[in-house]
Structure 1
Amino acid sequence: MRTYRIGGATINQTPLDWKGNLERIKKVLVEARKNGVEILCLPELCITGYGCEDLFLSQWLPEKALSLIPQLVAETEGLLTTLTLPLRHKGLLYNCAIVVKNKQILGIYAKQYMALDGVHYEPRWFNPWPIGLVEDFEIDGETYPIGDLTFDVDDWKVGFEICEDAWRGPVRPACRLKERGVNLILNPSASHFAMQKTLDRIKLVENSSLDFNCTYVYANLLGNEAGRMIYDGEIMVAQRGKILLRNQLLSFRAFELCYGDFKADQSTQENNEAVAPVLSKQEEFPRACALALFDYMRKSRTKGYTLSLSGGADSATCAIMVAEMVKRGIEQLGKESFCSAIGFDELAEKPEKEIVYTIFNTAYQGTVNSSEATLNAAKYLADSIGARFFSWTIDSSVEAYTSIIETALNRKLSWEQDDLALQNIQARSRSPIIWMLTNITNTLLLTTSNRSEGDVGYATMDGDTSGSLAPISSVDKHFIRQWLIYAQKEMGYEGLRFINQLPPTAELRPQDQKQTDEDDLMPYHIMVEIEKLAIRDHKSPLEVFTELKAADLEPEDLLRQHVRKFFRLWSRNQWKRERLAPAFHLDEFNVDPRTWCRFPILSAGFEEELALL
């Protein structure tokens, strides 16, 4: 039995970028043919992009996508591949893969299961195709079968699962495909990135090849396609329960092709060099965030980023990610291509730090409550990565606002009586001036909110939450603090040295009060454990307390206080979460109501449930 060259491709697409999307797919098809690929799996909805949202409800978008098919079919000489797009059939919209071989359409597979969990809302747009049903569909006057199809191609009987189809065990399309004698399953996917999610995918693909006695091919989308979701571009091929081909994830390139030679009798030998290693969570985090920032900058056509650099952990993390964007972009694309992609061709001959300086503004905005330690830490970090650094104080603005309200109320404000207001006015006074710098430089303002702050509302609306993009708001503070130490020691960011020595603090109260975040809230390592159970796992206050009490993380009375505090703060701060800037989805869950976690703005706040504690 001869070998067949089989592979997958990942593509970085953008909703409504018809010309660009088409050209990238054509380049993939040309590259595949050039390299002798015979069977190629393309990602899910790669013609339109997965993130078209309610545009999928329109009549014209599926029609536009279908009109591009003849141009792509013309590029498939000697190649079997999947052209994936939304198709409207008998008034209903389906998520489909048009199967093409050697410039001829063989038929159309339609996805059978829709994702409706976490960040997914597919049933809003798509309909599940009925199991076993095959009907006719017309393209340019020719009629082709559409539905629950398999295809005989040489030594292969080819079947399909599109993304969610494969996750619907124990009864999934592959179960029925095995009964039909299918020995090659192609899985076009648009599976969003989350740290360490690849471990679940690897297990899925390995087990699928073993359980269904087939060669299993998986191809995922790539990049920050539409603003929030990141796709890691994973490509895998498995036989006999073993991954035989796997690429490295989170590429800055517009597309990647990954292929190998496989036998239909599954006798293909293992080659460790063809299987990229799995990265740690600490390694994945900067790769994903850097790629997302790169795509966000170039797709929004702005000139870079601006950041209020406080000398704290969150803003430091955002700063490192911009530096990583430049570093990784240059490493993967070359300096000339990277600078062209972000709209700065004139920087192609400049040193890396000068590129960072041109596209990245940072500013330390101090008050009488700020310390020399945080100022020096911020400046040291900015200088170390090459960012443009400004420093100014906002005391005059704070005093002006305070004076106006004191006159209106006819009394002096005091920390004893007006603590929260006096803290918040400092954070809000920073917003107008940093926005002004952002507008002048035509950049995007980064906010530094993390997930832990989102949980309990530890942020000032229209202050530190003010901005265009919140890159780390799906990541908890406990992880961020650990990662910054890793970034200093393992990634060479010595500029983090002073920041890693400081306890997290908002520096909004007088310095003699020695304010810290954990004193205001609770230890972050405790908060993240409560959060996982309460928000990720949807457990009640009593269930959370009972489970964590058994873990013996802290004294029982203190744990009870922290569980109560978490649920109360969570309940009263949903309005803040509703107003957070767009955020990248980086972890297994987030608290953004526009993607993962919805909660009523008004509720009884777990009153009866907390009474049980």
Structure 2
Amino acid sequence: MRIALCQINPTVGDLAGNVERILADARRAAEAGADLAVFPELCVTGYPPQDLLDRPAFLDDVDTAVQHVARELPASLGVLVGAPVRNETPVGKRLFNTALLLADGDLVDATSKTLLPTYDVFDEYRYFEPCPERKVMEWRGLRLGVHVCEDMWNNEDQAPYHLYASNPIDELAALGIDLFVNLSASPYAVGKPIERRLLIQESCREHGVPFVYVNQVGANTELVFDGDSQVQSAEGEVLYHAPLFEEAFSVWDTDAPGEPVESARLGTEVEEVTAQIHDALVLGVRDYVRKTGDGVFEKALIGLSGGIDSAVTCAIAAEALGPDRVVGITMPSAYSSSGSVSDSQALAENLGIEFHEVAIRPAVDAFEAMLAPLFEGTEEGVAEENVQARSRGVTLMAISNKFGHLLLTTGNKSEMAVGYATLYGDMSGGLAVLSDVLKTEVYRVAEDINRRAGREVIPRATITKPPSAELRPGQVDQDSLPPYDVLDAILVGYVEEHLSPEAIARETGYELALVERIAKMVDRNEYKRRQAAPGLRVTGKAFGSGRRLPIVMQRTRVDAAGHEETVEGAPAAAGVDA
């Protein structure tokens, strides 16, 4: 049987556009002589549809869309598509997350997702009822073990703990199948491609059954989907692998499976990880702009400081949208170095983007004069520094409002973690491009951009200068923070690996007092992150919907002697150092 793997980029809620993509690839599959075309999970609605699934009218439209796909399919072609389907029984959640087999105008067969993730960014049990049993789909003489995304993720023998009681992979294999078929909407995170590859390989080798995996590609708000669709043989050898971060189409023949192919980049080396992060960010920006609708954002707007973060954000925007759709604004203040303007201008010239200089000194002077009577007799400090940052925020938002540009914020994950950012200042904007990229990785992305271009796109001075917010004379980031390689190692342990300060100190060798100080900074700045723009997710634990901590909390514990002590970051201190 000839099977088409259709790695498409659906848009959440765009039923007409998604149906058009499905039918276009279905026609392409028929022309290529395919017997079956496989599409991603929930491809009719786009993933994740979230509370759109609570709207009866939306579900009615989904039903109509599925019926239209069935009617318009090429004759004799079977198609597997993902869509929400109503639960007609009076028990359980109102919907199933279903894989539908359509052919010749009809629904031939269907099976639904059993394992419904509720961790990290996933919240599927909010909407869906788990499928109670496995079934075999028969098509053109083959017995297909069709399942949906998470259903394959409970089969890892080496896992120390399993989230679910059932294992759909084992249960399908026990029914006597010829081929596993997985419809997925699995978002990208560093390390995810190699994790998927090994998991599928394990399933193939354990049961001696080939595996077809088709994943969504594209970005929907924070989530970036890498595709990574593939076919593995019964021996766990990769027979086909789709490119990452782009739509793809291929036909694989079960009767002529072919030879193993060389694997694509899997992110096992630092350079591969950096290249994947770069590609994910470019796709994230491109789809955020494209999927908000034609004419909503004609251009992206970036405040250029001459620093590494704004330079990388600007370069990514230029690649994602084209240089003619990017505007850079440099906003010197009394404390800006000469390089702030010159390096920003050099970047703009290297990229070929529109560039303007708007000095904020008049605005800062006006605010200082206005506040002088109230601030009289106090020492200058963070409040005065943040007037500068907020003057920049007001300036950028005014330009954004006037011309309809999408303002991209430039803060990285390290800064967002410890609150080294100003609410309503440099945090102003509609999309946070680097909010899940640690500062040390930002430098690697910058080098990757220059390497790909074969020239100095991001000025060398921008890469080598000490990072600084330039809000007071001679200020550098290391006045307030440890070196970024130290800070980032602590943040990985605390934010991404959920380790205690004591465990991080043991693993890294850093002083416990330093680790505890960083942990407190992370905890006390949760209120800022709640007010931040949505950020593109590229790690397994990003700020935003995938990390949910209370703002107001006190972390205390009782020791063995019954004494109470404060731990980690208490109290939250919302509103301090804003």
Q: Could you tell me whether the CA contact under 8 Å between 1:452 and 1:528 is conserved in 2?
A: yes
Q: 1:285 aligns with which of 277, 288, 295?
A: 277
Q: 1:502 aligns with which of 448, 451, 465?
A: 465
| Counterpart Cα distance in 2 of 1:47 and 1:490 | 36
Q: Which residue, out of 339, 347, 366, partners 1:373?
A: 339
8 Å contact kept, 1:286–1:324: no
Q: 1:401 aligns with which of 360, 367, 370?
A: 367
Question: Would you say 1:541 and 2:504 are equivalent positions?
Answer: no
Q: Deviations over 1:74-119 (max 9, x none)?
A: 3042222212100111252110011134544322101101012211
1:173 alignment partner in structure 2: 168
Q: In the alignment, what sits opposite 2:127?
A: 125
1:310 correspondence with 2:310: no
Q: Residue by residue, what CA displacement relative to the aligned partner does 1:531-563 show, whole Å, maximum 9, x if unpaired?
A: 1221222222212222222xxxxxx5xx32320
Q: Which residue in 2 is equivalent to 1:608? A: 566
Q: Judge conservation of contact 1:567–1:605 (CA < 8 Å) in 2.
A: no
Quick one: distance in 2 between partners of 1:486 and 1:233?
A: 22
Which runs of structure 2 are paired with 1:84-233 in the superposition (5 Å)?
A: 84-89=82-87, 90-91=89-90, 92-130=94-132, 132=133, 148-169=134-155, 171-225=166-220, 227-233=221-227
Structure 2 gap segments, 5+ residues each:
157-165, 557-564, 570-578
- 1:472 correspondence with 2:434: yes
Residue number in structure 2 paired with 1:567: 519
Question: Shift in Å at residue 257 of structure 1?
Answer: 1.4
**Alignment partners' CA distance in 1, 2:52 and 2:442:** 36
**TM-score, length-normalised on structure 1?**
0.84
2:59 is aligned with 1:53: no
How many residues end up aligned between the 2 structures? Answer: 539
Query: Are residues 1:443 and 2:429 paired?
Result: no
Runs of at least 5 residues in structure 1 that lack an aligned partner in the other structure: 133-147, 327-354, 550-555
Which residue of 1 is the match for residue 572 of structure 2?
Answer: none
Given that 1:478 and 1:525 are in contact with CA atoms closer than 8 Å, whether structure 2 keeps it comes out as yes
CA distance in 2, matches of 1:277, 1:36: 30
Cross-structure match for 1:23:
20
Alpha-carbon deviations, 1:100-143, whole Å to 9, x = none? Answer: 3454432210110101221111111111111x3xxxxxxxxxxx
Structure 2 residue aligned with 1:80, among 78, 95, 101? 78
Match of 2:549 among 596, 599, 607: 599
Counterpart-to-counterpart distance in 2, 1:256 and 1:70 = 25
Deviation digits for residues 242-281 of structure 1 (CA, Å, limit 9, x no counterpart)? 1100111111xxx531222223xxx8341437x5454611
Q: Which amino acid aligns with 1:32?
A: A
Q: How does 1:337-352 map to 2 (within 5 A)?
A: none
Letter in 2 for 1:80: G
1:581 to 524, 527, 533: 533
State which of 383, 390, 398 in structure 2 corresponds to 1:421.
383
SS of the counterpart of 1:508? coil
Structure 2 residue aligned with 1:352? none
Percent of residue pairs identical:
28
Distance 2:513 2:457 in 1: 37
Indicate whether 1:235 and 2:195 are aligned: no
The answer to whether the 8 Å contact 2:231/2:241 transfers is yes
Structure-2-length-normalised TM-score: 0.89
Give the root-mean-square deviation of aligned CA atoms. Answer: 2.0
Distance 1:164 1:483 in 2: 31
In the other structure, the counterpart of 2:560 is none
1:373-418 CA distances to partner (integer Å, 9 max, x unpaired)?
222111101110011111122111111111222113444x5xxx22
In structure 2, what is the Cα distance between the partners aligned to 1:528 and 1:188? 36
Q: 1:342-374, CA deviations, whole angstroms, 9 ceiling, x for partnerless residues?
A: xxxxxxxxxxxxx51x31111111111000122
Taking the aligned partners of 2:206 and 2:232, their CA distance within structure 1 comes to 12
2:65 corresponds to: 68
Change (3 A) 1:490 1:50: closer
User: Which range is displaced more, 6-15 or 374-383?
Assistant: 6-15
Q: Check the 8 A contact 2:243/2:264 in 1, yes or no.
A: yes
For 1:368 and 1:431, the matched residues in 2 are separated by 16
- 5 Å-filtered alignment, 1:483-502, equals 483-496=445-458, 497-502=460-465
Whole-Å separation in 2 of the counterparts to 1:452 and 1:410: 35
Q: 1:446 to 1:115 in 2, by over 3 A?
A: same
Q: How far 1:39 moved relative to its partner? A: 2.2
Q: Determine if contact 2:274/2:441 at 8 Å carries over to the other structure.
A: no
DSSP-derived class of the 1:9 partner: strand
The answer to whether the 8 A contact 2:145-2:173 is kept is no
Comparing 438-447 with 490-499, which one deviates more in the overlay? 490-499
Structure with bigger helix share is 1
How far residue 154 of structure 1 moved from its aligned partner, in angstroms, is 3.9
CA contact (8 A) 1:76 1:103 kept: no
The structural deviation recorded for 1:67 is: 1.8
Indicate the SS of the match to 1:54. Answer: helix
Distance 1:292 1:317 in 2: 14
Deviation string for 1:448-469 (max 9, x for gaps)? 1111111111101000001111
**Partners in 2 of 1:467 and 1:172 — Cα distance?**
43
8 A contact 1:10–1:222 mirrored in 2: yes
Using a 3 Å threshold, how does the CA distance of structure 1 residues 209 and 39 change in structure 2: closer, same or farther? farther
> 2: distance between equivalents of 1:469 and 1:315?
13
Matched with 1:336 is none
- Residue type of the alignment partner of 1:451: K
- Could you tell me whether the CA contact under 8 Å between 2:332 and 2:340 is conserved in 1? no
What is the CA-CA distance between 1:307 and the residue it aligns to? Answer: 0.5
Contact kept in structure 2, 1:205 and 1:243, CA below 8 Å: no
Distance 1:395 1:243, change over 3 A: same
CA distance in structure 2 between the partners assigned to 1:125 and 1:189 by the alignment: 17
Could you tell me which amino acid in structure 2 is paired with residue 168 of structure 1? N
CA–CA distance in 2 between the matches of 1:150 and 1:100?
A: 15
Aligned partner letter, 2:440: H
Residue 387 of structure 1 corresponds to which residue in structure 2? 353
Deviations 1:553-591 (A, max 9, x none): xxx5xx323202111111211100100101111222212
